[in-house]
Copies of this chain bind each other. A is one copy, B any other.
Amino acid sequence: MVIKIDEYSDVPIYMQIRNQIVMGISSGELKAGEQLPTVRALALEIGINTMTVSKTYQMLKSEGYIMTDRKNGARVRQQIEKTGIISDENKNELRRIVSEARISGVSKKDLQKLVDEYYAGNV
């Protein structure tokens, strides 16, 4: 899986990586149990500091998306907890995005289509 950093983005690098990995898991590009690159390898590949990647992995770990062990590096968790809940923060963000789209004249249908695509993972 290829991680791409947008250096002009306001989203911190460690968060950009985190988001792409989460989207990779959701789309199936990253399978359960699959090995992630080592901290050093990913840092080298992206051209950033190992601490930054480390921060990403610790975040993903505390969120329950991945597990790390010193022998094998990081792997996608086999069983990610299915709470069935959308966080208040994400609801708020979703509402903001939908609102902005609506004002810009985007139809509800187009929005729904986008959600469909992202949910299916064919992006």
Contact = CB atoms under 8 A, between A and B. Distances in A.
A101 B90 contact: yes
Interface string A80-123: 11111111011111111111111111101001101110110001
A64 B118 CA distance: 28
- Chain A, interface residues (CB within 8 Å), range: 35 or more
Contact of A99 (B23, B97, B116): B23
A67 B105 contact: no
Interface string A37-67: 0000000000000000000000000100101
B95 A83 contact: no
Closest 9 CB pairs of A and B: A82-B105, A26-B99, A98-B118, A95-B118, A23-B99, A84-B105, A108-B119, A90-B97, A26-B102
A106 B123 CA distance: 19
Specify how many copies of this chain sit in the oligomer: 4
B112 A115 contact: yes
Given A67-B7, A115-B111, A90 B99 contact: no
5 contacts: A23-B99, A27-B99, A90-B100, A90-B101, A108-B119
